Amino acid sequence: MSANTVPLDRDELQLATGEADWLLSQPGTAPVRAPQPGPDLRIVPEARSRSRRLSPLVAALTGVGVILATLFAQLGLSIAVSQGAYEARALQSELRDLTRVERVLSQNTDKLASPQNLADNAAKLGMVQNTTPATLRLSDGAVLGTLGGPTAAIASSLVPNATLEGLPVVDADGLLTERNPEQAAAAAAVAAAAAIPWEGPLPAPQTH
Amino acid sequence: MPKLRPLAVRRLIAMAVVLIGAVVFSVRLVDLQVVQAPKLNAEALDKRGVPVTVPSLRGDIVDRNGVVLAATDERYDVQLSPKNVRLNGGKFWPTPDKEVSAEEAFAQIGAITGQAPEEIAKIVDDALAENPKSDFAYVKRGVDLTALNALKKLLIPWITFDVNHERVYPNGAVAGSMVGFIGSEGQPQAGIELSQDECLVGVDGEETYEKGADGVRLPGSVVVTKAAQNGGTVQLTIDRDLQYEVQQAINKQVESSNAEWGLTTVLDVKTGELLAVAEDHSVDPNNVDGVSSDYREARSFTYPYEPGSTFKTLTAAALIDQGAATIATQNYTPFRWDPEPGVTFADSTPHADMPWTLAGIIVESSNVGISMLGSRLDEQTRYDYLKKFGIGEETHAGMPLESAGMFTDASEWDRQTNYNTMFGQGLSSTIIQTASAYQAIANGGVRLPPVLVKSCTAADGKVTETKPEAPVQVISAEAAAETRKMLEAMATEGWVAEDAAIAGYRLGGKTGTAEQSDGEGGYRPDYVFTFAGMFPMDDPQYVVVSTVAYPKSPASTIVAVRAWHASVEATIRTFHVPPSSGAYEPLQLTY
């Protein structure tokens, strides 16, 4: 671009107009053209089409425009990406929260499915255990064992499970009741005995 | 040299300046991007980057059906910044039009964590007293998700949370002593947690990210330096439901008879897999402090005791295998016998001299009878048989701690011990070893060493099955079948038959009433009672052994038989064992 401007143009100008300068610099000389011995032919520098030449101003503006456009595009992209980062973070923390909830729920299921809990609930509902169930042999339809065999009451759980503490059980009326009524009653009695109401004026610390 | 025009000179100078500039910049560029790059990157990361450890999850322990016995749960630590509590005179604004003082916040937190407001105020005061710029103190460690969410809703700016992992055991004490437990700092302390730690433990990952002023990770700045690898899942051979019922049964018998301890083991005959290993009042790994240290171990593996008459079966099996006797071999059996000077022993109850066959001796559990016949084999032969039955050998079933029992070389036996070992005294075994010996008799004489750990499944799904130990042909299949006939006679015709019987099922077993060392060179006056058996006798699938130690009321084998009976019933229900085919053919017990 710069080739169009300062040094090259001046050189060309000098080459093209050298003669005229020289003539003008001779004071007192009539501006008479010296007789030419034959046609003085020179190669005319190829004329540049004026219309194809971009004005420096437009070129500069275009350049600045392109740069600005790039910058704005970059800015927009950057905003979009960081907006996406916020969204991704929100989604990630949602995923984390849901994973946590899922874990708590599955672990609740695990402990509710524990044999201690099932036995406690079955006993509260008044179910009994068929100690030796009869079986039906598919090949000949024979019933093995006795139908209406012996049943046993479900013993309360003798195998502790700390994860069930404080979880109620459902009784035959569909109501939630204490898992260990005796234990709960004993604990309540201890608590009641421990809470002795204070009598007399409240003690105040001695200060100096 | 042609004279240069001033213009060209200027051009050259300009060019030189540009070139020198370019060279200078290039050198600097290489210096920064190549030579100093690692150091500068590290420095920069230190300033902006946040390194994070990505904790791996410890694997689950599951039963043979995939029921979770041990899992990893998340708990949350509640932390506060003491210096920030005092900012703005202790006030903060969760919403623009609401002002909350520090005291109010303490009360709100305390209502969720169950602490008194003064407690939390004290935490802040103490931290600031120690260091006025203190930026960290725990309010409460290990709160659950409900508490975490409630605390987050308070929008208290000086509270932060951290996640840590905790072990939970949803089935409590079911198989608790085998599953084991881990310490507060996550180090395994007992049971499968300890022995299978290599499978269960994962590898923590590491990553760094760069964060902006508001704590948001800068996009694309997360660098995973090491991916976290979760631990594997250990599958046991135990059946959770059977294990519960068997534990219930042994607890019930120990409590009702006022015994000191009790054990029951259920073993799969065809695979050697332990289906249930129950001990009375075993530990709930959720609450290790709930029991004394004795109950924290899997006593089935660590408590050897003198087995007593259950080992007469093994002596009889050896006799039959050697061809030294058959189940019909006749022996005129007195109540007391003095085979050698200084050696004397008697049967448990006085009786006249009896014309018993070997089967009769087993059914009547005569010490004298089995010793008279057993003497047909020399002591080394009997020692070798017991060794092949697995006595005196650790089972390597998968527990970290195991006793091999006391079983000295035959050459070290004194004269009395020579006879005593024929009826299970003068040596000791764990209940697992006894069950394993009976498994050989149930399985055509082939002993499959007991297995507790089925497999380890890595986080990527790769399954490593436990390599079974080599089976041992202890006695011939015929000898095993003959021995089983005597066990069925004992359970069907013996004095415990009424308590053992289950309608429709053919059962076999042998009682044991064993004296135990009192630790002072003598024997205790009370007994350890055992019933070791198998069923269904038409094709034995399960070996069940129950032991109850020192019951007071009744002080009888019946207690062990009842525990055994309940465990067999539970096994029938759990595995839908169909009733037996064929019928018991009575043996000739006397002549």
Whether a cis peptide bond, with omega within 30° of 0, leads into B554 is yes
Other CB atoms within a 10 A radius of the CB of residue A9 amount to 11
Residues above pLDDT 90, as percent of chain A: 19
Q: Chain centroid to CA A181: how far? A: 48
Q: Is the pLDDT of residue A33 over 70?
A: no
What is the C-alpha end-to-end distance of chain A, expressed in Å?
Answer: 92
With CA atoms as reference, the chain B residue closest to A156 would be B248
Please enumerate residues of B whose Cβ is less than 8 A from a Cβ of A.
Answer: 7, 11, 67-68, 71, 73-74, 144-145, 168-174, 216-220, 240-241, 244-245, 247-248, 251-252, 255, 284, 286-287, 290, 502-504, 569, 572-573, 576, 578-579
CA–CA–CA angle A187, A193, A196 (5° rounding): 140
Whether a cis peptide bond, with omega within 30° of 0, leads into B157 is no
Q: Are B269 and B447 in contact (CB under 8 A)?
A: no
Give residue-wise pLDDT tens across range B4-60. Answer: 677 889 999 999 999 999 999 999 999 988 888 888 888 876 766 777 788 888 999
CB interface of A with B, residues 64-93, below 8 Å = 81-82, 84-86, 88-89
Q: Are B102 and B90 in contact (CB under 8 A)?
A: yes
Instruction: Give the ipTM of the model, two decimals please.
Output: 0.80
Give residue-wise pLDDT tens across range B434-471. Answer: 999 999 999 999 999 999 999 999 999 999 998 888 99
Catalytic positions of B, written as ranges: 309
Asked whether the beta carbons of residue A162 and residue B172 sit closer than 8 angstroms, the reply is yes
User: Between A81, A111, A131, which is nearest B170 by CB?
Assistant: A111
Structural element, H or E, at residue B10: helix B6-30
Q: Is the pLDDT of residue A23 over 50?
A: no
Q: Which pLDDT does position B499 carry in this prediction?
A: 93
Q: What is the mean pLDDT of residues B324-343?
A: 92
Q: Is the pLDDT of residue A30 over 60?
A: no
Q: Is the pLDDT of residue B370 over 90?
A: yes
Identify the residue among A128, A135, A136, A161 best suited for mutation to test binding to B, counting B beta carbons within 10 A and taking the highest. Answer: A161
Contacts A146 to B, Cβ<8 Å: 503-504
Give residue-wise pLDDT tens across range B117-140. Answer: 888 888 888 888 888 888 888 988
Task: State the pairing for strand pair B233-236/B61-62.
Answer: parallel
User: Between B174, B219, B248, which is nearest A155 by CB?
Assistant: B248
Structural element, H or E, at residue A117: helix A115-124
3-state secondary structure of B248: helix
CA distance B238 to chain A (A): 14
Q: Are B361 and B294 in contact (CB under 8 A)?
A: no
Q: Is the pLDDT of residue B512 over 50?
A: yes
Other CB atoms within a 10 A radius of the CB of residue B393 amount to 18
Separation CA A161–CA A157 (nearest Å) = 9
In whole angstroms, how large is the CA radius of gyration of chain B? 36
Separation CA B77–CA B80 (nearest Å) = 10
Residue B309: pLDDT band by 50, 70, 90 thresholds?
very high
Q: Which pLDDT does position A34 carry in this prediction?
A: 57
Q: Is the pLDDT of residue A17 over 60?
A: no
Q: Are B451 and B273 in contact (CB under 8 A)?
A: yes
Mean pLDDT of chain B: 90
Q: Are B369 and B331 in contact (CB under 8 A)?
A: yes
Q: Which pLDDT does position A3 carry in this prediction?
A: 41
Q: What is the mean pLDDT of residues A43-69?
A: 81
Separation CA A188–CA A168 (nearest Å) = 16
Which is nearest to B530 in space by CA: B502, B510, B508? Answer: B510
Separation CA B260–CA A92 (nearest Å) = 55
Identify the residue among B69, B221, B244, B580 best suited for mutation to test binding to A, counting A beta carbons within 10 A and taking the highest. Answer: B244
Separation CA B528–CA A40 (nearest Å) = 140
* pTM for this model (two decimals): 0.79
Q: Provide the residue type at A43 as one letter.
A: I
Asked whether the beta carbons of residue B219 and residue A81 sit closer than 8 angstroms, the reply is yes
The answer to whether the Cα torsion of B284, B285, B291, B294 is positive or negative is positive
Separation CA B423–CA A20 (nearest Å) = 141
